[in-house]
Structure 1
């Protein structure tokens, strides 16, 4: 029951909401349709993304889970997004910001492709996209409205004929390295990636790089470790390969796991004694 008379229909605006008080702008009054809101914290999030250079290009791996808090809500999300023929993003963090980022970058690439048809305008290289994201993320952070993502940019530079791998996060932190990881992967998988890379190329990186088969084996092992140890991961992931020939994203796969050791741990399953 209403304690007071229900508001008349004339109290609502065309959006079926109460209008905000009128404000004076340039001597004219106008209605605002609501305050500008900034994301205070991410809701649906993805976890680790791993990146590794090999002798012919770059590999990036990410699982297919998007968690709603601690709930493993969406189990078939692709967090690897190709940009053009020789660049790929691997994205952790807020999935709605990831969707917005994909839309903006895809629109930019369409504009660049249209310019390339009319003149000799060069296509965007992986480094160009990395610098764009660096400026975007830092600008949004400075306005107290960050893009709630951590991104790995991997690709093949056609001009320099070399692979490219870099990191950007919501604070505007940026750097490049032959092995990179986001989220818990930076703590659990990064040591394994560095160990495998340095075992072949040496600490100074002057030796030969891992082959494609060796790099894929290392990433598979790292994704298995993350499934064991990271509560926000899932045993379903994809691996992207970026070479001079283009971008290839694998179908979802699962790592072989072993859990029999847990039967002897107290607190796991039914206790017989």
Structure 2
């Protein structure tokens, strides 16, 4: 009989999950934002989970979905970067290569019917070239000037389509991300008001400390959501 530790463990259902990640290209590089909440079902169980991580010299990763699967992905990437550094050939993996690697990982696990329950955003800058892409839990992937995961796909990207332009300054990019995260906070029950923003430029990645969004809850629709609704009394 095999030892219990030899048993295969699979994530059959996401337990502790993080909500949307939103990212965009700006004048000098990539900006990314996510909140710090971790939900156990519909209960906000953890309030200080950081889901934005620098990868190697040129890349920045953001993840929504199952937190333990995200930790497993980070272990894969640690091995990838270590193996790359061991060559010591003066080159290092850029964001495009890391994104391609993640698409293969996610699609491979999907084909084994043992998916990693995450949506990932990978951005970076190498040799002056900005790169931003996403990959879903089944390996669907694309590149764009701005991307989002989860409900951010439905609530944040319309804002980004209206207001994004390629010459955004750092301050303008942060304001735009804060606007997106505020809308998500109002509309996504899994979102919290403590968010984290990170940037990556040619000089490297910076993950800023979490901070609280300024919010306004006095809208009449918030106080009485049935006002003006179809079929309301």
- 1:260: Cα distance to partner? 2.1
Equivalence for 2:213: 255
- 1:75: Cα distance to partner? 0.2
Q: Following superposition of structure 1 onto structure 2, how do residues 44-59 of structure 1 map, counting pairs within 5 Å?
A: 44-59=16-31
Which secondary structure does the structure 1 equivalent of 2:78 belong to?
helix
Q: Please state if 1:165 is matched with 2:153.
A: no
Q: Which consecutive unaligned segments of at least 5 residues does structure 1 have?
A: 1-30, 201-207, 268-273
Query: Contact 2:196–2:211 (CA<8 Å) still a contact in 1?
Result: yes
> How many residues end up aligned between the 2 structures?
223
Which secondary structure does the structure 2 equivalent of 1:260 belong to?
coil
- 1:253: Cα distance to partner? 1.1
* Separation (CA, whole Å) in 1 of partners of 2:3 and 2:57: 42
Equivalence for 1:141: 110
Q: Please state if 1:238 is matched with 2:196.
A: yes
* Separation (CA, whole Å) in 1 of partners of 2:58 and 2:115: 27
Which secondary structure does the structure 2 equivalent of 1:233 belong to?
coil
Q: TM-score, normalised by structure 1?
A: 0.78
Equivalence for 1:32: 2
Equivalence for 1:188: 155
Equivalence for 2:171: 213
After superposition, the C-alpha distances for 1:26-59 in whole angstroms (9 at most, x for unaligned) are xxxxx22355342211100001000100111110
Q: Following superposition of structure 1 onto structure 2, how do residues 1-273 of structure 1 map, counting pairs within 5 Å?
A: 31-34=1-4, 35-116=7-88, 120-158=89-127, 161-197=128-164, 200=165, 208-262=166-220, 264-265=223-224
Q: Which consecutive unaligned segments of at least 5 residues does structure 2 have?
A: 227-233
- 1:264: Cα distance to partner? 4.8
Query: Contact 2:58–2:93 (CA<8 Å) still a contact in 1?
Result: no
Q: What do you get for the CA RMSD once the two structures are aligned?
A: 1.6
Pair 73,56 (structure 1): closer, same or farther in 2 beyond 3 Å: same
Greater Rg over alpha carbons, structure = 1
* Separation (CA, whole Å) in 1 of partners of 2:225 and 2:144: 42
Q: TM-score, normalised by structure 2?
A: 0.91
* Separation (CA, whole Å) in 2 of partners of 1:36 and 1:101: 17
Pair 142,211 (structure 1): closer, same or farther in 2 beyond 3 Å: same
- 1:115: Cα distance to partner? 1.8
Structure having greater relative contact order (Cα 8 Å, sep ≥ 6): 2
* Separation (CA, whole Å) in 2 of partners of 1:266 and 1:81: 38
Which secondary structure does the structure 1 equivalent of 2:56 belong to?
coil
Which secondary structure does the structure 1 equivalent of 2:17 belong to?
strand
Equivalence for 2:229: none
- 1:121: Cα distance to partner? 4.8
Pair 265,100 (structure 1): closer, same or farther in 2 beyond 3 Å: same
